[in-house]
Amino acid sequence: MTLAEMLAAFATAPVTADAQMRRFVGFSLADWAAVGLAGVDEPVARAARQMAQEDSGGLGVAAVIGGGRAAARAAALANGATSHALDYDDTHFLHIGHPSVAVIPAALAVAEAQGASGADFLDALTVGLETACRVGAWLGRSHYEAGFHQTGTSGAFGAAAAAGRLLGLDRATMAQALALTATRAAGLKSQFGTMGKPLNAGFAAETGVTAALLAQAGAESAPLAIEGAQGFGPTHAGSALDDAFAGLGTEWVFPGISYKFHACCHGLHAMLEAVGSLMPLDPDHISRVRIRTQPRWLDVCNQAAPETGLQAKFSYRLTAAMRLAGVDTAALASYSAETAARPDLIALRDRVEVIGDRALRDTEAVVTIDSGTGSVTARHDLAGRLAPELIETRLRAKAVSLLGAGRAEALWQAARALPDVPDMARFSALLGSPG
Amino acid sequence: MTLAEMLAAFATAPVTADAQMRRFVGFSLADWAAVGLAGVDEPVARAARQMAQEDSGGLGVAAVIGGGRAAARAAALANGATSHALDYDDTHFLHIGHPSVAVIPAALAVAEAQGASGADFLDALTVGLETACRVGAWLGRSHYEAGFHQTGTSGAFGAAAAAGRLLGLDRATMAQALALTATRAAGLKSQFGTMGKPLNAGFAAETGVTAALLAQAGAESAPLAIEGAQGFGPTHAGSALDDAFAGLGTEWVFPGISYKFHACCHGLHAMLEAVGSLMPLDPDHISRVRIRTQPRWLDVCNQAAPETGLQAKFSYRLTAAMRLAGVDTAALASYSAETAARPDLIALRDRVEVIGDRALRDTEAVVTIDSGTGSVTARHDLAGRLAPELIETRLRAKAVSLLGAGRAEALWQAARALPDVPDMARFSALLGSPG
């Protein structure tokens, strides 16, 4: 059996996902929508919406986040770029990338075009997200280090699986869609720090929709297009890890997904979690804060005295002070020149010391806080799993921080209602709303 | 200056092309249209049209070859795939691929959307075709041998240059379009023999339009996206040939383009040209035909006794007999089971001998024909340049073979009128006509 056939068998079979998988798909969907809506005014989101508008003349079958409608493929592209614009979406370390921003836009565009039910949409996400993670793991670290961006590459395979399922492709046709994806998938890591990074997510989403539509229309590809001689993996420094597909269809790797709860550099998150676990503490009584972190972060996010909002997003000292003072680190608006200039935060910031510690992993941080009542220490490792109940609580709080309570609640309710609704209308309408 | 900036300076400057360059652009355009119209019933053309229809809902700003309209990007994709469906379009050996099928569909879609004049469209083709050839040469043989298909990869850069010029991008914005192309261009040679090959051309055309529209809308990319560390060239086994861009803007490499004059395997073309140069000969008096060819072709196109139309396209013996008997080897319909079964052709075919000769290049053939009046010999090398007047005569004859005299003449007249017409309407209307 070829790799395309094996993945097609998985993507077209009845979905046997366990309750945990389904729960995490729901979390990712709601978080994706909140982050996407929060990103609509980013320059890359505006550019992608304008491109979709130019391409489709304002007509189309699918909603564009931030308003308007477009052709299915253009909507997938725009929504992928918009939802990755803030880099605040979910991450899967096995996948080595961001699965939701490629898979969800592809599935949503096709679900709208097809008039699919909410349940069918969720099933498509389930197989698409799992496919993206498995293919990302199969491509492996060598692919990433050679310069490829799994969000764009393995993301396209997940997007094709999700789009193809919603089109009702049979197994052989789904295999063609996945094989066609092999000659279309792309995305370079050298785009990081530019709009090319979020666009890679949009391109992946569009590639999936395109390949699925072409296969549905009868297009055929090379059977060994993914793993064969000069297939996608061999031409793109793929690791071809044998066990990447172990248990596919019975075991689910996607629930290992990580969510971002703070709107700042990922290197600060373990520290912010450790600080949070020590709260509440009265800032006025704090005499000293010591942060231990893996030394590689010291070049990345250790701005000692930030002055701008962007600098604030890369500052151990200021974000620790913000968290201790009760500033919402999940809200984008918290990272501002005004925040950086607040005298009380500067006073607290100047009592924070940052220490590199090679004994720590780069997902870990140790924080020690001295106050009038003594010294307390907490350690946090982002690689640890959180209880689903806690994740939900925190994702809902994040959505409130990003969108306000009313829109956040409407979004979570619409996502929660999907298993029982006949179409995507209510959910999609929230994405286009002006806020 | 970055590579994107250098190419952008070329693509946005006044076009200084010499008369020969402009003449070959016209040849390629007319040949592209004839080959595209001849391919509309190929399965990949049908699939691509259906995809464009599904995506755009039958509405759109650009004509689709074979009928209908679509969004600009979908039309570019469909027209690229359709025009490469027969593998009968032009080839550039320095580019290592087929420039017209990527560049022309991108330019045409944007020209229609913009209401561009014929002269502006031709200028855009001029810079786009030259860009595709230069980038293809820069990527070089190592890129091709690693498994990448220049038609899809360097074609996308040419398509972006042409599309961006028609959008009126300034130099800095054009550089962004070309840099964005770096993270989107793709195409694998392992798709050869499947519909993925013509689709690579369509994907390249679409990539160019997408990147140009995104750049116009304000999207920005990494300055060194093409040549920098982990840019497109380094991540795709590019040769980075220093002299690939020598003389850009003053010297034109595109006129080295090769056209196909026979609707069969390229390995047979040198032989068919050599045979043609010896004609007329009375088939009844031919006692023996000896064909010398590079031995690598003997595994490719040496079907001794073909029975189907497809087998006929890969047969030295039968196509030599067809040519000697006056069968039109430029016409698709000539390659059929009926032709293969004609007793007179079989009798002639059985007097043909095929001999491998390592002294010949793979673009060469030597043919010796014995008849009642003695023995004659001719050698032909496809690498030799034909006089432009001869190319035009033969391309017009090819168009007549493919489309009939009336449509062929209308197409050539419409192409020839382009420098003086205010828009693309007349030319585009011919592409959508039912024939």
Summarize pLDDT for B5-54 with one digit per residue, the tens. 999 999 999 999 999 999 999 999 999 999 999 999 999 999 999 999 88
Q: What is the dihedral of CA B299, B303, B309, B310, to 10 degrees?
A: -20
Asked if the model's pLDDT at residue B435 lies above 50, the reply is no
Q: What is the dihedral of CA A107, A108, A114, A115, to 10 degrees?
A: 140
Residue type, B167: L
* Contact (CB<8Å) B56/A56: yes
Residues of B in contact with A139 (CB under 8 A): none
Closest CA to B380 of B247, B303, B302, B274: B274
CA distance B349 to chain A (A): 34
Asked if the model's pLDDT at residue B261 lies above 60, the reply is yes
Domain boundaries defined on chain B: 3-258+396-432, 266-381
The pLDDT assigned to B383 comes to 86
Q: Of 1.10.760.10, 2.40.110.10, 3.75.10.10, 1.10.4100.10, which CATH number belongs to B3-258+396-432?
A: 1.10.4100.10
Asked if the model's pLDDT at residue B236 lies above 60, the reply is yes
CATH superfamily, with its number, for domain A3-258+388-432: 2-methylcitrate dehydratase PrpD (1.10.4100.10)
**pTM recorded for the entire structure:** 0.95
The pLDDT assigned to A434 comes to 53
* Contact (CB<8Å) B56/A48: no
Tokens of B408: 């062929």
Which of A231-235, A324-328, B299-303, B317-321 bottoms out in mean pLDDT, i.e. has the lowest?
B299-303
- Please list the residues that pair with A293 across neighbouring strands: A356, A365
Residues of A in contact with B194 (CB under 8 A): 220-222
Residues of A in contact with B193 (CB under 8 A): 222
Q: Please report which confidence band the pLDDT of residue B209 belongs to, taking 50, 70 and 90 as the band edges.
A: very high
The pLDDT assigned to B433 comes to 63
* Contact (CB<8Å) A71/B72: no
Q: What is the DSSP string of B230-247?
A: TSHHHHTT----GGGGTT
Residues whose CB falls within 8 Å of the CB of residue B290, separated by 6 or more in sequence, listed in order: B352, B353, B355, B367, B368, B369
Picking from B46, B179, B191, the nearest residue to A183 by CB comes out as B191
CA distance A398 to chain B (A): 28
DSSP-derived pairing of the beta strands A352-356 and B352-356: unpaired
The pLDDT assigned to B375 comes to 96
Asked if the model's pLDDT at residue A186 lies above 70, the reply is yes
Residue B63's SS3 state is strand
Query: Mean pLDDT of all residues in chain A?
Result: 96
CB–CB of B419/B122 below 8 Å?
Answer: yes
Asked if the model's pLDDT at residue B101 lies above 70, the reply is yes
Which of A192-201, B52-61, B104-113 bottoms out in mean pLDDT, i.e. has the lowest?
B52-61
The pLDDT assigned to B327 comes to 97
CA distance B1 to chain A (A): 18
Residues of A in contact with B44 (CB under 8 A): 219
Residue of A nearest to B185 (CA): A186
Note the pLDDT tens digit of each residue in A287-297. Answer: 999 999 999 99
* Contact (CB<8Å) A219/B147: no
Note the pLDDT tens digit of each residue in B293-307. Answer: 999 999 889 999 999
Note the pLDDT tens digit of each residue in B313-371. Answer: 999 999 999 999 999 999 999 999 999 999 999 999 999 999 999 999 989 999 999 99
Residue A383's SS3 state is coil
Closest CA to B169 of B218, B202, B135: B218
CA distance B239 to chain A (A): 15
Q: Is the ipTM of this complex over 0.90?
A: yes
Residues of B in contact with A59 (CB under 8 A): 57, 59
- H helix and E strand count, chain A: 18, 6
Closest CA to A105 of A12, A198, A32, A49: A32
Asked if the model's pLDDT at residue A330 lies above 50, the reply is yes
Please identify which residue in the block is written with the tokens 């850069």: B157
Picking from B55, B199, B222, the nearest residue to A190 by CB comes out as B222
Q: Of 3.30.565.10, 3.60.15.10, 3.30.1330.120, 3.30.2010.10, which CATH number belongs to A266-381?
A: 3.30.1330.120
Residues of A in contact with B47 (CB under 8 A): 214, 217-219
Q: Rounded CA gap, B222 and B329, in Å?
A: 49
* Contact (CB<8Å) A196/B210: no
Q: Please report which confidence band the pLDDT of residue B434 belongs to, taking 50, 70 and 90 as the band edges.
A: low
The pLDDT assigned to A433 comes to 63
Asked if the model's pLDDT at residue B148 lies above 60, the reply is yes
CB–CB of B203/B155 below 8 Å?
Answer: no
* Contact (CB<8Å) B56/A54: no
Residue B375 is inside which H or E element, if any?
Answer: strand B374-381
Q: Please report which confidence band the pLDDT of residue A435 belongs to, taking 50, 70 and 90 as the band edges.
A: very low
Note the pLDDT tens digit of each residue in B150-186. Answer: 999 999 999 999 999 999 999 999 999 999 999 999 9
Asked if the model's pLDDT at residue A118 lies above 90, the reply is yes
The pLDDT assigned to B53 comes to 86
Please give the interface size between A and B, counted as residue pairs whose CB atoms are below 8 Å apart: 198
**Residue of B166, B183, B192 to mutate for A, most A C-beta atoms under 10 A:** B183
Residue B363's SS3 state is coil
Asked if the model's pLDDT at residue B395 lies above 50, the reply is yes
Per DSSP (E only), the strands in A46-106 are 62-63, 69-70
CA distance B74 to chain A (A): 9
Residues whose CB falls within 8 Å of the CB of residue A24, separated by 6 or more in sequence, listed in order: A254, A255, A257, A388
